[in-house]
Structure 1
Amino acid sequence: MILRKRVCLILLSVVMAFGYAISTASATRANVTVQVDGKNVTFPDAKPYVEQSRVLIPVRFVSESLGAKVDYKKETTGNKVNRTIIITQSDKTVHMNVNSDKVLVGDKIITLDVPARLQQERVYVPLRFVSEALGATVDWNSSKSLVSISTGAVVTDPEPVPDPKNEFGWKPGYNELAKELFVNNAKVSNGKFTITIPKDATVSYYPKNSLKKTVLTPGKQYTYALKEGQGSLSIDLIYPGKPESEHYAIFLDGKGKEINATQSVEIQDVVVSGNNGKWPVEATLSEVVQLAESL
């Protein structure tokens, strides 16, 4: 009960530790892990990232991990669209408007350093705004990129922090194709994957369990229904004078090794395989798009 009554204050406290610890960080997407009482917070699509030396998180997942209810309201007045997030728990209420730096906590207005914003259909808030909270402890481990939120509960068996070597990234000097491929290009919508082939890339479609391939035409748009057994795309960009190419595989059945091992009736994402310079890595398309946007 104490945890529930403090949830909104805890939400408003998560960021303080980040604001100072990451003040020198670059304005790029960070591989950040968030834990509440030793339990990893799951971000199924949009992930935490760094912008202007501030860590931003999808507010819903942290809120719900603390037992809060999150409501999203969208109202259109003429050409203006107002989006509001309402977080409620016990007698505490938080109102925040997308693209505004003002947050109403009960009857108190708090000013954010970075406005709440909508990205990948999720509302992000800066962790720093959750400063001044009572009853919660927030720690930042820079070596592990880990935010630890403690509500005072005894933690006897904390979950392991993801190994950075498994996190998606790019080999130094091999990311030109990423921008053309994943920024305002490859996307999933209504159970279908759509992509326009970059002009300098070599792209082939491989059916499931077959070495027979179809070479795709640069500049042409292709659409594939996402379903079990659909196959994959192999994508390469050759760098003249360099020993390696920039390579990706996109699995159109929504799987690919360990990611998305269980599926809902409708596949909501695809899996991208790449190389972060040291290890083969995989991530969902939504994660890779967010990373590519920060390049």
Structure 2
Amino acid sequence: MNRCLHKNSSRLWPKVLGAFFFCLGLGVTGTGGTGVAAAAEPGPVISLVIDGKGIPTDVQPLRQNGRMLVPIRVIAESTGADVTYEASNRQVNVTDKGKRIVLLVDSRTAYVDGKRVTLDTPAMIVNQRTVVPIRFVSEALGYRVVWDDRSGVAQIQTKPIGDTAAVIKDATNPYVVQLGDTLTEIAKRHNTTVQEMKKNNFLSSDELTFQQLLFLPKGAKKAEHPLSKEVGDRRLLDDTYYFPFSEVSWYEPYGDSYGSDREWTESNNGSVRNHEGIDIMAPKGTPVYSVADGTINRVGWNTYGGWRVNITDDAGLYRMYYAHLSAYVPGLEIGDTIRAGQLIGFVGDTGYGGTGTVGMFEPHLHFGLYKNSDGLAIDPYYYLKYWEQKKVGSPYS
């Protein structure tokens, strides 16, 4: 890690900034004072999301006077802002998109394009790192900043949000495609049209696959082969559940990988095991959300699942398993209450080895679903396809 010299030097920081820190000038609940979480974290923690990606920092964000402090370098690396540090007068200069911000270490005075402003919290040097106020800096540069109080994570958007994932308008009448089905026959039997079915399901062709999930449009007859017949518990087909990715997250189309062979085992004896979940490929750092209200019953490292978290639903019927995470949000502990749609961690590639093992496979979320009564695994594929129609929205909308 590159470090800025604080004595007898004046260095120009490149766009990939070494180790300066932003102070997240965000309204944070709780008492004032500087400090990190008192309890030990179960694994790596991420407290900052920039443009939809969790950004790790080598020092945990701090709190000062109700404000949150995080590394400046993460802003520079993610946005391309130019930063210089003048050691002789302990001054940080941030320039981006024609804007110039000047902050003085240990001073509440700052300047935006030459105009003097007063900060709630000054720039500081902590553990030989420089930290400065992020809400002030971000908003001065035209970024959008949101504080997620439930997860203890700051979210910053530096550029326009692209197209969000298509969400089916009418998703209350799901139909499972049978052998020999065609769109024409399905439409005829359910008193609707091919055009309405294609529109409601965002289909670009008439081709169907066996056991594909379709949502019949409004006004159609009740599905002859409803999804409820394909799943073990209809109670999970409810609009209180969320998909584990948000509407602005990118992920690859996924199939039913439940029950497929997995050759890696802890004993390395050549045996084959069954895959007890669904893998959804997504970029490392993609935020992961809880699908249901519940309570954390396990969190930390697992040889197979890497950094993982298990959540038992409020009814005590099911356990949801989120595996291969790169990091958690701050402060997760066994016994914590979690709400559906709450940010809990970030996609990674951890697992298949001792603590900290990474790179054994491409980044993805492994989602598992288990009966709480006997621990038996359930194929969550159809539930995920149903929940996919309800996602956490953009925090900036």
**TM-score, normalization by structure 2:** 0.33
Question: Which structure shows the bigger proportion of residues in helix conformation?
Answer: 1
**TM-score, normalization by structure 1:** 0.44
Q: Select the structure of larger CA radius of gyration.
A: 2
